[in-house]
Amino acid sequence: MGVVLLPQVSRRWLRHTIPLAIFALLLFYLCTRSLRAFEGCGSGAQPCVTEGPPPSQIRQQLGSLEAPEREEPRCLSPEGMLGRLVRPFRASLNLEGDVELSQYLAGWRELIKFLTPFGSIFTFATSEAFSKVTALEARVHGPDAVHYTSLATMAAWERRAGLLERPGVAPPDSAKASGSRTTLLLHRALRWSQLCLQRVATGAHRGPSAGEQCSDAYSTVLGPHHPWLVRQAARLAFLSFPGRGRLLDLACPRTGEAEARAALARAAGTLEEVYNRTQGLLAERGLLQLA
Protein backbone atom coordinates (compact mmCIF):
# COMPACT_ATOMS: atom_id res chain seq x y z
CA MET A 1 0.00 0.00 0.00
CA GLY A 2 2.82 2.34 0.96
CA VAL A 3 4.51 1.44 -2.29
CA VAL A 4 1.38 2.42 -4.25
CA LEU A 5 0.90 5.64 -2.33
CA LEU A 6 4.45 6.87 -2.50
CA PRO A 7 4.49 8.13 -6.11
CA GLN A 8 1.16 9.91 -5.52
CA VAL A 9 2.38 11.54 -2.36
CA SER A 10 5.63 12.61 -3.89
CA ARG A 11 3.83 13.88 -7.01
CA ARG A 12 1.50 15.93 -4.86
CA TRP A 13 4.46 17.09 -2.86
CA LEU A 14 6.20 18.15 -6.04
CA ARG A 15 3.10 19.91 -7.32
CA HIS A 16 3.13 22.12 -4.26
CA THR A 17 6.85 22.46 -3.96
CA ILE A 18 7.73 23.59 -7.46
CA PRO A 19 5.59 26.72 -7.40
CA LEU A 20 6.80 27.39 -3.87
CA ALA A 21 10.40 27.03 -4.93
CA ILE A 22 9.85 29.38 -7.87
CA PHE A 23 8.16 31.85 -5.58
CA ALA A 24 11.02 31.61 -3.10
CA LEU A 25 13.59 32.13 -5.84
CA LEU A 26 11.69 35.14 -7.10
CA LEU A 27 11.52 36.55 -3.58
CA PHE A 28 15.23 35.92 -3.11
CA TYR A 29 15.99 37.62 -6.43
CA LEU A 30 13.87 40.66 -5.55
CA CYS A 31 15.44 40.88 -2.06
CA THR A 32 19.00 40.79 -3.34
CA ARG A 33 18.09 43.42 -5.92
CA SER A 34 16.67 45.79 -3.33
CA LEU A 35 19.58 45.01 -0.99
CA ARG A 36 21.97 45.94 -3.74
CA ALA A 37 20.07 49.19 -4.17
CA PHE A 38 20.71 49.99 -0.53
CA GLU A 39 24.37 48.99 -0.63
CA GLY A 40 26.82 51.64 0.43
CA CYS A 41 24.25 53.87 2.07
CA GLY A 42 22.78 54.30 5.49
CA SER A 43 26.09 54.17 7.34
CA GLY A 44 27.07 57.79 7.10
CA ALA A 45 29.20 59.10 4.27
CA GLN A 46 27.14 58.23 1.20
CA PRO A 47 23.65 59.58 0.67
CA CYS A 48 21.03 56.90 0.38
CA VAL A 49 19.78 57.05 -3.17
CA THR A 50 17.78 54.05 -4.23
CA GLU A 51 17.71 54.27 -7.97
CA GLY A 52 15.16 51.82 -9.23
CA PRO A 53 14.08 52.00 -12.81
CA PRO A 54 11.25 54.53 -13.35
CA PRO A 55 7.77 52.97 -13.44
CA SER A 56 7.40 53.47 -17.17
CA GLN A 57 10.57 51.53 -17.78
CA ILE A 58 9.33 48.68 -15.63
CA ARG A 59 6.05 48.66 -17.50
CA GLN A 60 7.99 48.60 -20.75
CA GLN A 61 10.08 45.67 -19.55
CA LEU A 62 6.97 43.82 -18.47
CA GLY A 63 5.31 44.65 -21.75
CA SER A 64 8.23 43.31 -23.69
CA LEU A 65 8.14 40.10 -21.66
CA GLU A 66 4.44 39.58 -22.26
CA ALA A 67 4.22 40.54 -25.92
CA PRO A 68 7.16 42.00 -27.77
CA GLU A 69 5.11 43.88 -30.40
CA ARG A 70 2.24 45.06 -28.22
CA GLU A 71 3.81 48.02 -26.46
CA GLU A 72 2.75 51.31 -28.06
CA PRO A 73 5.76 53.34 -29.17
CA ARG A 74 6.18 56.51 -27.11
CA CYS A 75 5.74 58.93 -30.00
CA LEU A 76 2.29 57.41 -30.60
CA SER A 77 1.23 58.29 -27.05
CA PRO A 78 -1.19 61.23 -26.74
CA GLU A 79 1.71 63.62 -26.04
CA GLY A 80 3.87 62.32 -28.89
CA MET A 81 4.03 63.98 -32.28
CA LEU A 82 2.47 61.07 -34.14
CA GLY A 83 -0.05 60.40 -31.39
CA ARG A 84 -1.42 63.91 -31.66
CA LEU A 85 -2.05 63.49 -35.35
CA VAL A 86 -3.35 59.92 -35.26
CA ARG A 87 -5.97 60.60 -32.58
CA PRO A 88 -8.21 63.08 -34.46
CA PHE A 89 -7.89 61.12 -37.70
CA ARG A 90 -9.05 57.99 -35.89
CA ALA A 91 -11.88 59.96 -34.30
CA SER A 92 -12.98 61.15 -37.74
CA LEU A 93 -13.91 57.52 -38.48
CA ASN A 94 -16.22 57.22 -35.47
CA LEU A 95 -19.30 57.87 -37.61
CA GLU A 96 -20.32 54.60 -39.18
CA GLY A 97 -19.35 54.61 -42.86
CA ASP A 98 -18.81 58.38 -42.88
CA VAL A 99 -16.05 60.87 -42.07
CA GLU A 100 -16.58 63.52 -39.41
CA LEU A 101 -15.27 66.77 -40.85
CA SER A 102 -14.20 68.66 -37.72
CA GLN A 103 -12.02 65.72 -36.61
CA TYR A 104 -10.68 65.23 -40.13
CA LEU A 105 -9.62 68.88 -40.20
CA ALA A 106 -8.15 68.68 -36.70
CA GLY A 107 -6.11 65.73 -37.95
CA TRP A 108 -4.98 67.74 -40.95
CA ARG A 109 -3.86 70.62 -38.73
CA GLU A 110 -1.63 68.22 -36.80
CA LEU A 111 -0.38 66.63 -40.02
CA ILE A 112 0.66 70.05 -41.32
CA LYS A 113 2.43 70.82 -38.04
CA PHE A 114 4.24 67.52 -38.37
CA LEU A 115 5.18 67.95 -42.05
CA THR A 116 6.20 71.62 -42.04
CA PRO A 117 9.65 71.14 -40.44
CA PHE A 118 10.48 68.61 -43.17
CA GLY A 119 10.91 71.45 -45.63
CA SER A 120 9.15 73.54 -48.21
CA ILE A 121 8.36 70.56 -50.42
CA PHE A 122 5.65 69.43 -48.05
CA THR A 123 3.89 72.76 -48.11
CA PHE A 124 4.35 72.73 -51.82
CA ALA A 125 3.34 69.17 -52.61
CA THR A 126 0.28 69.35 -50.42
CA SER A 127 -0.45 72.52 -52.44
CA GLU A 128 -1.11 74.78 -49.56
CA ALA A 129 -3.09 72.33 -47.55
CA PHE A 130 -3.14 74.93 -44.83
CA SER A 131 -5.33 77.37 -46.79
CA LYS A 132 -7.63 74.50 -47.76
CA VAL A 133 -8.01 73.37 -44.19
CA THR A 134 -8.81 76.95 -43.20
CA ALA A 135 -11.36 77.30 -46.02
CA LEU A 136 -13.13 74.10 -45.02
CA GLU A 137 -13.05 75.02 -41.34
CA ALA A 138 -14.80 78.28 -42.23
CA ARG A 139 -17.67 76.18 -43.62
CA VAL A 140 -17.70 73.72 -40.73
CA HIS A 141 -18.09 76.66 -38.32
CA GLY A 142 -19.99 78.97 -40.69
CA PRO A 143 -23.70 79.82 -41.05
CA ASP A 144 -24.38 76.47 -42.78
CA ALA A 145 -22.46 74.51 -40.16
CA VAL A 146 -25.37 72.11 -39.69
CA HIS A 147 -24.73 70.74 -43.20
CA TYR A 148 -21.00 70.41 -42.69
CA THR A 149 -20.78 67.84 -39.91
CA SER A 150 -19.65 64.97 -42.12
CA LEU A 151 -18.51 64.27 -45.64
CA ALA A 152 -21.84 62.64 -46.55
CA THR A 153 -23.98 65.50 -45.20
CA MET A 154 -21.76 68.07 -46.89
CA ALA A 155 -21.89 66.36 -50.28
CA ALA A 156 -25.68 65.93 -50.08
CA TRP A 157 -26.23 69.56 -49.09
CA GLU A 158 -23.88 71.02 -51.70
CA ARG A 159 -25.56 68.98 -54.40
CA ARG A 160 -29.05 70.06 -53.29
CA ALA A 161 -28.00 73.69 -53.03
CA GLY A 162 -26.32 73.63 -56.45
CA LEU A 163 -22.93 74.50 -54.96
CA LEU A 164 -20.93 71.76 -56.73
CA GLU A 165 -18.65 72.68 -59.62
CA ARG A 166 -19.12 70.96 -62.95
CA PRO A 167 -16.82 67.91 -63.24
CA GLY A 168 -13.36 68.82 -64.50
CA VAL A 169 -13.96 72.58 -64.36
CA ALA A 170 -11.84 74.38 -61.78
CA PRO A 171 -13.61 77.21 -59.98
CA PRO A 172 -12.28 80.69 -60.94
CA ASP A 173 -11.57 81.51 -57.31
CA SER A 174 -10.32 78.57 -55.23
CA ALA A 175 -11.34 80.34 -52.02
CA LYS A 176 -14.96 80.06 -53.21
CA ALA A 177 -14.65 76.39 -54.17
CA SER A 178 -17.24 74.02 -52.77
CA GLY A 179 -16.42 72.14 -49.60
CA SER A 180 -16.54 68.91 -51.59
CA ARG A 181 -13.88 70.08 -54.03
CA THR A 182 -11.66 71.37 -51.23
CA THR A 183 -12.04 67.99 -49.54
CA LEU A 184 -11.05 66.22 -52.75
CA LEU A 185 -7.82 68.22 -52.96
CA LEU A 186 -7.02 67.53 -49.30
CA HIS A 187 -7.88 63.89 -49.89
CA ARG A 188 -5.26 63.57 -52.64
CA ALA A 189 -2.66 65.35 -50.52
CA LEU A 190 -3.46 62.94 -47.69
CA ARG A 191 -2.80 60.01 -50.01
CA TRP A 192 0.57 61.42 -50.93
CA SER A 193 1.49 62.04 -47.27
CA GLN A 194 0.40 58.53 -46.36
CA LEU A 195 2.39 56.83 -49.14
CA CYS A 196 5.44 58.98 -48.43
CA LEU A 197 5.43 58.23 -44.69
CA GLN A 198 4.66 54.56 -45.23
CA ARG A 199 7.54 54.15 -47.67
CA VAL A 200 9.92 56.03 -45.40
CA ALA A 201 8.86 53.74 -42.54
CA THR A 202 9.33 50.50 -44.43
CA GLY A 203 12.05 51.30 -46.98
CA ALA A 204 15.18 49.13 -47.09
CA HIS A 205 18.50 50.72 -46.09
CA ARG A 206 20.02 50.02 -49.48
CA GLY A 207 16.83 50.79 -51.40
CA PRO A 208 15.71 54.15 -52.79
CA SER A 209 16.20 57.18 -50.52
CA ALA A 210 13.32 58.82 -48.68
CA GLY A 211 13.40 61.64 -51.23
CA GLU A 212 13.11 59.21 -54.14
CA GLN A 213 10.29 57.34 -52.45
CA CYS A 214 8.28 60.47 -51.71
CA SER A 215 9.03 61.95 -55.12
CA ASP A 216 7.71 58.74 -56.66
CA ALA A 217 4.56 58.98 -54.59
CA TYR A 218 4.20 62.57 -55.77
CA SER A 219 4.44 61.57 -59.44
CA THR A 220 1.76 58.91 -58.96
CA VAL A 221 -0.71 60.76 -56.78
CA LEU A 222 -0.40 64.52 -57.22
CA GLY A 223 1.65 65.06 -60.38
CA PRO A 224 -1.19 64.17 -62.77
CA HIS A 225 -3.29 66.96 -61.22
CA HIS A 226 -0.58 69.64 -61.20
CA PRO A 227 0.49 71.85 -64.12
CA TRP A 228 3.84 71.15 -65.81
CA LEU A 229 5.65 74.03 -64.14
CA VAL A 230 4.60 72.92 -60.67
CA ARG A 231 5.73 69.36 -61.43
CA GLN A 232 9.18 70.58 -62.47
CA ALA A 233 9.50 72.72 -59.36
CA ALA A 234 8.45 69.75 -57.22
CA ARG A 235 11.06 67.54 -58.89
CA LEU A 236 13.76 70.06 -57.97
CA ALA A 237 12.47 70.54 -54.44
CA PHE A 238 12.60 66.78 -53.81
CA LEU A 239 16.37 66.89 -54.36
CA SER A 240 16.77 68.59 -50.99
CA PHE A 241 14.39 66.22 -49.25
CA PRO A 242 15.57 65.13 -45.78
CA GLY A 243 17.06 61.66 -45.35
CA ARG A 244 15.26 58.74 -43.75
CA GLY A 245 17.17 59.12 -40.48
CA ARG A 246 16.18 62.75 -40.13
CA LEU A 247 12.55 61.99 -40.95
CA LEU A 248 12.42 59.21 -38.38
CA ASP A 249 14.04 61.48 -35.81
CA LEU A 250 11.46 64.20 -36.42
CA ALA A 251 8.66 61.65 -36.13
CA CYS A 252 10.01 59.96 -32.99
CA PRO A 253 12.73 62.00 -31.32
CA ARG A 254 15.25 60.15 -29.13
CA THR A 255 13.98 56.73 -30.17
CA GLY A 256 15.64 53.74 -31.73
CA GLU A 257 15.22 53.30 -35.46
CA ALA A 258 13.09 50.16 -35.25
CA GLU A 259 10.64 51.77 -32.84
CA ALA A 260 10.46 54.96 -34.91
CA ARG A 261 9.80 52.96 -38.07
CA ALA A 262 7.06 50.95 -36.35
CA ALA A 263 5.38 54.09 -35.04
CA LEU A 264 5.53 55.85 -38.39
CA ALA A 265 4.10 52.79 -40.13
CA ARG A 266 1.22 52.70 -37.64
CA ALA A 267 0.49 56.39 -38.20
CA ALA A 268 0.60 55.87 -41.97
CA GLY A 269 -1.82 52.96 -41.53
CA THR A 270 -4.34 55.25 -39.82
CA LEU A 271 -3.98 57.77 -42.65
CA GLU A 272 -4.67 54.93 -45.07
CA GLU A 273 -7.85 53.96 -43.25
CA VAL A 274 -9.06 57.56 -43.45
CA TYR A 275 -8.02 57.74 -47.09
CA ASN A 276 -9.86 54.51 -47.91
CA ARG A 277 -13.09 55.61 -46.27
CA THR A 278 -12.98 59.06 -47.89
CA GLN A 279 -12.16 57.56 -51.27
CA GLY A 280 -15.20 55.29 -51.09
CA LEU A 281 -17.50 58.15 -50.09
CA LEU A 282 -16.24 60.47 -52.84
CA ALA A 283 -16.42 57.71 -55.46
CA GLU A 284 -19.99 56.71 -54.57
CA ARG A 285 -21.05 60.32 -55.07
CA GLY A 286 -19.16 60.85 -58.32
CA LEU A 287 -17.05 63.54 -56.67
CA LEU A 288 -13.60 62.25 -57.67
CA GLN A 289 -13.95 64.07 -61.02
CA LEU A 290 -14.59 67.49 -59.50
CA ALA A 291 -11.24 68.84 -60.58
Ligand X SMILES: *[C@@H]1O[C@H](CO)[C@@H](O)[C@H](O)[C@H]1NC(C)=O
Applying CB under 6 A, the residues found at the interface with ligand X are 269, 272-273, 276
Nearer to ligand X, 180 or 198 (CB): 198
The CA distance from 136 to 100, in Å, is 12
60-89 as b/e, with b when 16 or more CB fall inside 10 Å?
A: eeeeeeeeeeebebbbbeeebbbbbbbbbb
CB of residue 97 vs ligand X: minimum separation in angstroms?
14
Q: Which is nearer to ligand X, 178 or 278 (CB)?
A: 278
CA atoms within 13 A on the CB side of 161: 13
CB of 268 to ligand X, least distance (A): 9
Q: At closest approach, how far in Å is the CB of 264 from ligand X?
A: 15
Residue nearest to ligand X (CB): 276
Could you tell me the maximum CA-CA distance found in the chain, to the nearest angstrom?
102
Nearest to 125 by CA among 200, 261, 220, 250: 220
* Separation between Cα atoms, residue 76 and residue 86, nearest integer Å: 8
Q: How far is the CB of 260 from ligand X (least distance, A)?
A: 20
Q: Compare residues 159 and 285 and give the one whose CB is closer to ligand X.
A: 285
Q: For ligand X, which is the closer residue by CB, 184 or 267?
A: 267
Burial class (CB in 10 A: 0-12, 13-18, 19+), 54: exposed
Q: CB-wise, 139 or 277, nearer to ligand X?
A: 277
Nearest distance from residue 192's CB to ligand X, in Å?
Answer: 15
Give least dist CB 275 to ligand X, A.
Answer: 7
Q: Report whether 234 contacts 192 (CB < 8 A).
A: no
Give 142: exposed, middle or buried? Use CB within 10 Å, 0-12, 13-18, 19+.
Answer: exposed
Between 152 and 265, CB nearer to ligand X:
265
